[in-house]
Amino acid sequence: MLKSTIALAVAASLLMVAGIACGGAAEQPAPAAPAQQPTVAAAQQQAAAPATTMAPASQPTSAPAAAQPAVTAVVATATPRPTNTPSAAQQAAVIGGRLRIAVTPPVQELVRGWLGTTTSANAQVRPFAEPLVHTDRFDGSLQPGLATEWEISKADGTQWVFRLREGIPFHGDWGEFTAHDVPHSAALITQEEAIATDTGLFRGLFGQEQDELFENIRVVDDYTVEFNLLRPEAAMDFVVSAQQGNYFMYSKAQWDAEGEQGYIERPAGNGPWQFESRQLGVGGNILYSRVADHWRQSPFWAELEQINTPEPATRLANLLTNQVQIAEVNRDLHPEATDGGMIIVESELPSIQVAFVMGGIYSPLSPYHDPSDPHLDVRVREAINRAINREEVNTELFSGFGSPHPVWGFHPSLPGWNPRWAEEFDEKYGFDPDRARELIQESGHEGYPLKLIITQLSGVPEMIPMAEAAFTYLTDIGIDVEAEEMEWARFRSDFYRPGKTHGTISPIRGTMRPAEVTLRFYNRSGPEGFQRIVPDPRLDELYVEAITAVSPDVKANALLQAGDIKFDQYAEVPIVWLPSQIAINPGEVGEFIWPGNINTAITHTEYITTAQ
């Protein structure tokens, strides 16, 4: 039993966070970036999710049903349904003071969304800047936002028209939001210095050069924009939403008057919070103020402060002493939080998928391919999967809240799911260290050197002890494991972006989003792929088929075939699905409802009420 080992790992993680305390590199003015290559980027498909309103979490979530859901056609519409009406608590007019939230430090500290990850941008930019399409806080569906309606204007999916909301001001007297801000904001993501999650996607859709982008995103009039795409995209509404990533609306007028420096010092958006200030580094914060009479939802607090707090014990202590009202708290610390009078609330949808990613699994077609990498041997990949005691990790680290996760990137409620993965998971992936040792010996890679990356990301504060537990599991089957702590930003920039993941394994978290998004990030061998975990080149072909398909049935079938390859060839090490869970002080905070399908720990803060 490794229960004691995991317990020690949890304690040790409190001492080790100093090595990754910043949680990511601070945003710097106008950094240079290496030239990007042409890319074929991923299409995103909005999956329907049931509308639910969850009570505060008190018991582990049940496993998702294995039954194959019906594939729902994604039909572009010019008249999306209205956003769900506020609940009873949201009718209150009570305004609180400063709402303080202790968060796991973001990968990058930024206010220019094109300089970092989706997670970083949604955590720090989304409060003050809006995407074109809003995400409903109850059921996670796409809803009218700055765009009031949209439609596919060419049947092949290569042209979309978006009509914009009129009379929406930017913060700081920078005038009204218009169609001219739309191509300007897209150009920020595709400029040379951009390193956004969406950079490759937008270059693939609109072109490598700025002139080409401005030709393809055409301003029809002040409130109408036409997107002309270089390839079919049947879910452009998803692409321009926060569920996809970094595409938020910035003021072109501010850029024209103040340049990029204006965005660094006081960026103007049109969100429910206005950016006020920030302090970078360990213990730093970002402060926003309430926008009165906001067109969508004025916050119930005068100010919002996010405080970067790397240490799990410190986040809990600050919550218990009312230094913050909301905090990310490790799930194994939930009993201490509830004993102290706090309550745990969770997202409306399954939110977070947790896994390990084995590096070096590059396609033979890739320039990064090294045929000597042990992870190219399917027996090694199976051995690693059989070495991990998922039940123990779920029980000891996630307090039993995890539900089964057969294939990284796929969920039973999304198109492309194959029920056989759940049915065969125990047989193919079940904890069996004896068989794992045999597989390592059969492969001839016994004792091979493996670098275990110890890092963390928001939403899964348990990533550090989970990685430390993996150290014991993998050492036990005959692998020579060396652990190295590092910030996620460094791993992103030095290892997986440049194709240098050989001989590594790292913990990872993802959001509940269409499977093709995860395929683009991890299972695509071209330059648009990030970690490029491609055990079979056929994944490239299936990816292209999925992202270019206008028919939802064709898309779902391509995704299912891709999932079959990933499952049968042990492409990754899936661990569990988790709800997003946050601890709140019920004496200060009232209602907190968020969907969980946006890639960051906490969203929709403008709807958080004060305690009545």
* Segment 148-182, tens digit of pLDDT: 999 999 988 899 999 999 999 999 999 999 999 99
Q: Can you say how many angstroms the Cα of residue 265 is from the centroid of all Cα atoms in its chain?
A: 26
Asked if the model's pLDDT at residue 18 lies above 60, the reply is no
Amino acid identity at 572 = E
Model confidence over 389-398: pLDDT tens digits? Answer: 999 999 999 9
Mean pLDDT, residues 368-379 taken together: 95
Model confidence over 448-473: pLDDT tens digits? Answer: 999 999 987 777 888 899 999 999 99
Model confidence over 112-145: pLDDT tens digits? Answer: 999 988 888 999 999 999 999 999 999 999 999 9
φ, ψ for residue 495, nearest 5 deg: -115, -70
Provide the percentage of residues in the chain whose pLDDT is more than 90. 63
Whole-number average pLDDT of the chain: 85
Please choose, from the candidates 344, 332, 294, 317, the residue with its C-alpha nearest in 3D space to the C-alpha of residue 580.
344
The confidence score (pLDDT) of residue 325 equals 98
Size of the chain in residues? 612
Higher-confidence residue: 74 or 387? 387
Mean pLDDT, residues 374-379 taken together: 97
What gap in Å lies between CA 262 and CA 255, rounded to an integer?
A: 7
> Distances in Å between the alpha carbon of 530 and those of 25, 41, 411, 473, 525?
19, 12, 21, 27, 8
Model confidence over 33-67: pLDDT tens digits? Answer: 322 322 222 233 333 333 332 333 333 333 333 33
Please choose, from the candidates 101, 41, 110, 47, the residue with its C-alpha nearest in 3D space to the C-alpha of residue 74.
47
Asked if the model's pLDDT at residue 69 lies above 60, the reply is no
The confidence score (pLDDT) of residue 574 equals 98
pLDDT band for 538, please (50, 70, 90 cuts). Answer: very high
Amino acid identity at 10 = V
Sketch out the chain's domains with CATH numbers.
76-347+581-607 (3.40.190.10), 349-578 (3.10.105.10)
Model confidence over 335-363: pLDDT tens digits? Answer: 999 999 999 999 998 788 999 999 999 88
Asked if the model's pLDDT at residue 492 lies above 90, the reply is no
Mean pLDDT, residues 532-544 taken together: 88
pLDDT band for 90, please (50, 70, 90 cuts). Answer: low
Please choose, from the candidates 324, 359, 275, 325, the residue with its C-alpha nearest in 3D space to the C-alpha of residue 27.
275
The confidence score (pLDDT) of residue 412 equals 94
Mean pLDDT, residues 436-447 taken together: 97
Structure tokens at 225: 């924009």
Provide the percentage of residues in the chain whose pLDDT is more than 70. 84
Please choose, from the candidates 9, 41, 7, 23, the residue with its C-alpha nearest in 3D space to the C-alpha of residue 526.
41
Strand order in the sheet with 159-164: 147-152, 159-164, 224-228, 217-221
Mean pLDDT, residues 432-459 taken together: 93
pLDDT band for 88, please (50, 70, 90 cuts). Answer: low
Strand stretches in 138-205, DSSP E: 142-144, 147-152, 159-164
The confidence score (pLDDT) of residue 77 equals 37
Is the CB of residue 373 less than 8 Å from the CB of residue 609? no
Mean pLDDT, residues 281-302 taken together: 94
pLDDT band for 92, please (50, 70, 90 cuts). Answer: low
The confidence score (pLDDT) of residue 75 equals 33
Please choose, from the candidates 545, 568, 575, the residue with its C-alpha nearest in 3D space to the C-alpha of residue 558.
545
Mean pLDDT, residues 355-381 taken together: 93
Asked if the model's pLDDT at residue 571 lies above 80, the reply is yes
Are β-strands 343-358 and 285-290 bridged in parallel, bridged antiparallel, or unpaired? unpaired
The confidence score (pLDDT) of residue 556 equals 96
φ, ψ for residue 102, nearest 5 deg: -90, 120
